[in-house]
Amino acid sequence: MTKNDRLSRLLLELPWLIQNKNTSIDNFCAQFDISRDEANKDLSLLTYVGPGRFGGELVDIQYDDENISVIDSQGFDRPLRLNNIEAVLLLLGVRNLSEISKDKQEILDIDIKLSGLIESDIADEKYKQEYSNKKNRIKEAIANRKQLVIHYIDSHLKLTSERSITPIEIKTLDTKEYLTALDNNSSQKRTFRLDRIIEVAVVPLDALPQEITQNNIYSEKISLRTKSWNASNILDLNIPYTRSGDQLHIEMDLIDPEYLLEIILRLDDKTEIVCSKKMKSNLQKMLSDRIESIL
């Protein structure tokens, strides 16, 4: 081991020991891949360093053949920041785990924390804080069985007026969180993407019972066939699709032509669209209006 490797190791050891109180010397050796002799040398050196030269100004670590305890870390009580590549490695590892894990929520929490450590041009601490506050208010309402009033950006990117809902649960799909709730006006179950909920207010009214009204809503079976690489463009829409070779197939019952148009515009102009003539002519009209109106 070079001296620089040793310095890096010493800088890792102290915060690690603080986070792993009363660890055994054997575990310490195993974690840092060092012998007992090297561990003793490292621990001994760490007790010689500090901001001054005297007892109270030096790091204090008590250790014997069995256990190690940090008594005074001399201000070095927070771990070193992960560099970009370290955070990326852990994040990719966590995402790999998410494919096999059942607890998507905890994995997403870690994903969010790690993502915050990776350089990003649009990292926005204020937005993340607001998101976290919003989520906490929803969780609180679910736990206390209360109603909520929300403002929401719908799939057409339009801000809806106030909606009164009874929150049921927060679910995680891929990298997004969704709130399943009962729309108190229509008594229909709805799913809201959490990042599209703009405002949340808990109202002092008890949650409504989850009796879903079966309305006769007209929907149409839609089929879209396109190239598989277009999948990345529709990930955030949370729509079901299947992939076969370089083909991607979306099949769904759809009520809203505007939503269908949003999906189509994310694909490419070689997409095969199967729907009714009425729906197609509706979509053509919407597109023509958009072409006409653009300034």
Interaction with other proteins in 163-222: which residues (CB under 8 A)? 174-176, 195-196, 198
Interaction with other proteins in 230-249: which residues (CB under 8 A)? 231-233, 235-236, 246
Q: Closer to other proteins at the Cβ: 77 or 206? A: 77
User: Closest approach of Cβ 67 to other proteins, in Å?
Assistant: 16
Distance from C-alpha of 59 to C-alpha of 52, rounded to nearest angstrom: 10
Interaction with other proteins in 62-121: which residues (CB under 8 A)? 74-76, 78-97, 99-100, 106-107, 109-110, 113, 115-121
Q: Closer to other proteins at the Cβ: 135 or 146? A: 135
User: Closest approach of Cβ 38 to other proteins, in Å?
Assistant: 13
How distant, in Å, are the alpha carbons of 56, 120, 125, 132, 192 from that of 105?
Answer: 44, 23, 21, 13, 16
- List 38, 52, 185, 242, residue binding other proteins (CB under 8 A): 52
Residue with tokens 């102290």: 14
User: Closest approach of Cβ 142 to other proteins, in Å?
Assistant: 21
Distance from C-alpha of 59 to C-alpha of 48, rounded to nearest angstrom: 7
> Is residue 195 within 8 Å of 131, Cβ to Cβ?
yes
User: Closest approach of Cβ 196 to other proteins, in Å?
Assistant: 7
Q: How many residues bind other proteins (CB under 8 A)?
A: 106
278 forms part of the interface with other proteins (CB under 8 A): no
Q: Closer to other proteins at the Cβ: 12 or 208? A: 12
User: Closest approach of Cβ 251 to other proteins, in Å?
Assistant: 18
8 forms part of the interface with other proteins (CB under 8 A): yes
Which residues lie closer than 8 Å to 24 by C-beta, 6 or more apart?
66, 67, 68
User: Closest approach of Cβ 263 to other proteins, in Å?
Assistant: 9
Binding part of the chain for other proteins, among 1-9, 63-71, 142-150, 177-185 by CB under 8 A, reads 1-9
Burial class, 69, CB count within 10 angstroms (exposed 0-12 / middle 13-18 / buried 19+): middle
37 forms part of the interface with other proteins (CB under 8 A): no
**Which CB contacts under 8 angstroms, 24+ apart, belong to 204-208?**
204/146, 205/146, 205/147, 206/145, 206/146, 206/147, 207/141, 207/145, 207/146, 207/147, 207/166, 207/167, 208/147, 208/166, 208/182, 208/184
